[in-house]
Structure 1
Amino acid sequence: MTQGNGTTVTEFILMGFLVQQEVQYTLFFVFIIIQITSVVGNAGMILLINIDSHLNTAMYFFLQHLSFVDLCYTSAIAPKVLLNFLVSNKSISFSGCVLQLEIYGTFAITECYLLAAMAIDQYVAICKPLHYSMIMSQRACIQLVSGSYFMGSVTASIQIAFLFSLSFCNSNIINRFLCDAPPILSLSCSSIDMNVMMLIIISGFSLSSTVITVFFSYVYILSAILKMHSATGKHKAFSTCFSHLTALTILCGTLFYMYLHPSSSESQENDKVASIFYGIIIPMLNPLIYSLRNKEVKEAVKILGKSCS
């Protein structure tokens, strides 16, 4: 990748927060605790779903893949973020930047579609309970999950192909913790109009299709819940739906802000915080959201704890 003066861009510099080294060390310990919690929580969720036969349902099949996706894309981001808190050389190779963006882009987009699939599952479970096992068959669940991974990988690959076909000549300094499309675009000396359009179309389609699917699913779900006569049934349905909506709102709200809001120099620090939030903190929150408000998961944890003691 050549610059305007004929030199070759072989690396980028990830600036992160420009604070004193003592603060960097403090941030390192904070984020390593967050990362350990994320890995333990998501890996634990996958293990629990696989060993407990009571969790052998479509909802937990999707939740298992949600945890796997969280593990994958936070693992593409966190090691470099943590390392940069400790070292003065905050560079990342050109190929490393491409790989990081490909991995976390693929799995972040996949997560959006997985959350949409989970909304469909909730709709069928609550609105069409008598036909649930037929509609949400193992084959249907595999198709929804496979489609989510396919959309994630294809969408991210298209965006990256357009992005890294550009020439870079302004600078190689990325004012973020990670390689991300918007700040990389700002470094290009090529025309980026097509790339900006592609970013808006791809991000907008992925996010809006997820939100629209969830919105219409929950319109029917809410109507069905309000018609329930059982207070216990209402509480269980609301609890499950609340967990899903919380996870969706946090992820999509952050991604909408990151990719679809007008960029400005004043928003760069907020963008840094947002990138850390969806890259490291959200993968930690998801297993907590689904476990703390899910009676079946808490019961499975208790049973597993008793069997291990």
Structure 2
Amino acid sequence: MTDLPTTMIAIDPAEPGGPEVLVPVERPVPTPGPGELLIKVAAAGVNRPDVMQRLGQYPPPKGAPSILGLELAGDVVGLADGADQRLLGRPVMALVAGGAYAEYAVAPAGQCMAVPLCLSMVEAAALPETLFTVWSNLFERGRASPGETILVHGGTSGIGTIAIMLGKAFGLTMIVTAGSPHKCARALEIGADHAIDYKAQDFVAEVKKLAPDGVNVVLDMVGGDYLARNLECLANEGRHLSLAAQRGGTPELPIWLMMRKRLTLTGSTLRARDVSFKTEVRDALIRAVWPLLADGRLKPVIDSTFPLARAADAHRRLDEPDHVGKTVLTVG
């Protein structure tokens, strides 16, 4: 690592605020610790948790850098002592607990995956956070099985679009909600079986028409009053998976309905989980999903790209009504 610079440009806001706090600053190039790789970042995915951190609502876990960014793609340029020297120079995509909005970042080797030849660095950077989240929740915690019907809120978000594609690849019927006719049309183009405009339609009534016996799994990022409505949509033995709570984290729970249908309510956060857990998810993805990536059957939907210096504009883009898929920062 002797030829590497000692400083780099990063997005590391000094205080919470609006997108305007996302200005480039100089920071030391990080040093990989045991089991870590140093990656020269080519691209970094932009996610809703980054917005929450910017607002001061989602501080990084202990030991994680304050630099924003949870996923990246780039070339391995440095290794800790004892690491596999064959990784040097290899292009990888990585899930990190922070630090992706920068020219260099460190990542645990167990959270890194080789970039398939058919993917660009921008596409690769758009995948780790959503793949880890969808796989560990929908398929592991949610036990989604071929032939089942799934309801996904936010069908045109980064998570929603990957959920649609993975669901169809593994034999699921995918019903999604989205906030406009345009977004519903895009969800259908991406592969959803049905798309409900939640602003114009009662999604509970529409789901009951589409799945009279109820859906088997709900993947929810809304929370609040959606919880009770989601439980109405579930079939007996259904599973409700909470990934976020954009409309509030303390909803009323219809306990009798939950008991009568024998429902399972669960959820998870990913960022603070330990490396061993994330490595297990990585290994499962390599077994089950990498063949889909390698032959081009699965590619992320890229909404837009911005250079690192325009991270503020990338965050503004997330809130625009026609946003579909992932926004990515390009570095260098």
**TM-score (norm: length of structure 2):** 0.24
Higher helix proportion (structure 1 or 2): 1
Higher strand proportion (structure 1 or 2): 2
**TM-score (norm: length of structure 1):** 0.25
| Structure with higher RCO (Cα < 8 A, 6+ apart) | 1
Structure of larger gyration radius: 1
